[in-house]
Structure 1
């Protein structure tokens, strides 16, 4: 039995430190995620190598997977639905999740003739992350890769927004949502990236229209969504779809909003100051995972926000999208 069941892309992150000029030369949209085919991904790696830019770190990634790691490392039980290839990268990816306490099932996750997805994470001196993603076999995730009975007894189903870009998973998401509601499981959606709203709004709306209990996003994503929805206020726009809305905003306070009996209730939780932002990759994912852990434990919304803010601050103060289990536990002990 699991507290949370997540589904999302399975990607091995390769992180690079580079200058603003080097980033501009790639032609990628700064701070956004861009999808790429095999040749384009290989060309980017080759171009970086030709400029003497070597990988700084390689680690398991994927937005929802990062959230599940934070959730499990803080003490919750998590299962991750995903699709990897029958290759060394796939073995590495699933083994990494297991080591961090997140359960998977190789009988559902591994596509023997597939290639595990990869993500090039380009980090500029200000810590901003820009990504180019080759989904590989993850782009074909479908009902065959989902172990539906993991929802029995679960508290939350967690969906990453990037799934809106994978048409193959649409029917499975409907089935997941139906199964979740049948078992009384709440549903959370993370927007994950501005590119999801820009290029896959229809798929994202399909997720929301089924009914969700929590939405996680940042201020840019919320503003883009509200504008596309004809709303001036992001909070009002999102509360049309969800009972709870959590909007992070870099070093500014996070807005936590929910519907109350007498109107909208808002909490504003200050970001935790950091001496230097090293890498923003995974900050939002970890915020959502830590916040969801707090919800699963029955903590008050402001307490969930404070725990999540502490975890996100630790993430941006280091290189890479995940902490060690010991670090997550230390933050929990300090905050709760």
Structure 2
């Protein structure tokens, strides 16, 4: 039976505010480099007033993954909450313009919180430091999960950042039950070492019981399993069918069925690392559902990541299929 969606993502619906700065600005404003820090609205406004010229665009980790998947022609839907305000309407329009089904009701404009936004400060080395006001997306509830949509998906893709929401664990549980009950599979991205520290038990339980494919980077998988890199990969592979772990300029390691595959990175001048892992996952999953072997999927992910880090922002600007062909991939 053919399902309506090949992939449905659930995550924090955000609008990214991107600005360049130097390391001294990070230090002066108490910002730890290279990680995601949660802020309240007051802190978000304070930082916004201090940064230089900025670019605003729709973002959010899982939304970026879904947008990349849809760019490649994959039928996809997204679940994440925004408000009926200017940024919320921009977010919804941008995602739908990518061909993504987005049917989550907007939070009422009288809601006390606004659409979430992430101030992303990009230093000259391309590293990004994220300061995130979750806003209304933090309040995604089980009632926002449409069980019919989850049941009509081959895969659901869960964003680790979403664990910070007060009802997120229940929302994820509802989505997983609906998807798995209809024969679907679950992919999870760990998102951030500090997020893992905050919710380690919940992550461990979900990975053990529900996850079929795990996405992480080197720092995240070591934080999850509290051991060195190789041992962490081995431990993860004992719990899930497929482990996909990126390692920046060293490429990606894929472990599945007792086999470990390494795909080298695509050399690229880094302008902005925002979205590298997100677009990697989108391209990898597209290749996977299209029936490509794991090495090809890894190469697709690396090519997509190299494209997105070559410019500002976390959405694709080039034709990824054309780039795949240029690298000799048969699609």
TM-score normalised by length of structure 1: 0.92
- Per the alignment, residue 48 of structure 2 pairs with 45
Report the CA distance between 1:328 and its aligned residue: 2.6
- Per the alignment, residue 173 of structure 1 pairs with 172
Q: Aligned equivalents of 1:117 and 1:178: distance in 2?
A: 27
Q: Is there any run of 5+ residues in structure 2 with no aligned partner, and where?
A: none
Alignment map for 1:1-336 (pairs within 5 Å)? 1-48=4-51, 53-55=52-54, 57-106=55-104, 108-114=105-111, 115-227=114-226, 233-259=231-257, 264-274=258-268, 276-324=269-317, 327-334=319-326, 335-336=329-330
Report the CA distance between 1:332 and its aligned residue: 3.9
| 161-170 vs 243-252, which moves further | 161-170
Q: 1:213–1:242: 8 Å Cα contact kept in structure 2?
A: yes
Q: Aligned equivalents of 1:314 and 1:15: distance in 2?
A: 17
Q: Aligned equivalents of 1:223 and 1:104: distance in 2?
A: 34
RMSD: 1.7
Q: How many residues align?
A: 323
Q: Aligned equivalents of 1:92 and 1:146: distance in 2?
A: 22
Q: From the superposition, tell whether residues 86 and 109 of structure 1 become closer, same or farther in structure 2 (CA, over 3 Å).
A: closer
Q: 2:152–2:179: 8 Å Cα contact kept in structure 1?
A: no
Report the CA distance between 1:232 and its aligned residue: 6.8
Q: Aligned equivalents of 1:233 and 1:109: distance in 2?
A: 44
TM-score normalised by length of structure 2: 0.93
Q: 1:82–1:146: 8 Å Cα contact kept in structure 2?
A: no
Q: Is there any run of 5+ residues in structure 1 with no aligned partner, and where?
A: none
Q: Aligned equivalents of 1:101 and 1:250: distance in 2?
A: 29
Report the CA distance between 1:109 and its aligned residue: 4.4
Report the CA distance between 1:231 and its aligned residue: 8.9
